[in-house]
Amino acid sequence: MSLIPEQDDFLFPLGALLDARDKVKTANNWQEKYREIMLMGKLLPSLSREFHTDEAQIRGCESKAWLYHTRFDDQHYFLADSEARIVKGLAALLLAECQGASRDELQVFDIQNYFSALGLKGQLSPSRTNGLMALANQMQAAANSDE
């Protein structure tokens, strides 16, 4: 990618994101989980419009969403943004689990098991599930690349 955010942008604090993920997991019903996911999206830094490029756009996602990747030593970091609040919240859930992971950890990450453990299995529409899979696949591919 020719235009990439500053490396420091990838190092946003994870504490609030991890706490929000735990709230999604312990929410009693789908409405509460949905609300927590929407709030979670607000915890991710927003990418400026200049980074909303075709090159960074996640293919297979119904809503426009963008993903950037960088690596520090053997750890991988991501920035994600979307025009749709629910998609940004779902991306935040993925980043809560994958931010700072090694290539090997990302390669064995099973998004279906992760979302099942969060109580989200069967709650997302097929198009949202496909978009989420596309995001996870793109994260794994980025970590596997030689960049």
Burial of 89 (C-beta count, 10 Å sphere; 0-12/13-18/19+)? buried
Both tokens assigned to 115: 């979302």
Active site members: 61
- Average pLDDT in the 119-126 region? 87
Q: Over 50: is that where the pLDDT of 1 sits?
A: no
The per-residue pLDDT of the chain, averaged, comes to: 91
Over residues 61-70, the pLDDT tens digits come to: 788 999 999 9
User: What pTM value is reported for the model?
Assistant: 0.91
Residue 4: CB atoms within 10 Å: 16
For position 146, what pLDDT does the model report?
52
Q: Measuring CA to CA, which residue among 115, 133, 110 is closest to residue 61?
A: 133
Instruction: Count the alpha carbons within 13 Å of 106 in the hemisphere toward its beta carbon.
Output: 27
- Average pLDDT in the 113-126 region? 89
Q: Chain-centre distance of CA 106, in angstroms?
A: 12
8 A C-beta contact, residue 125 and residue 61: no
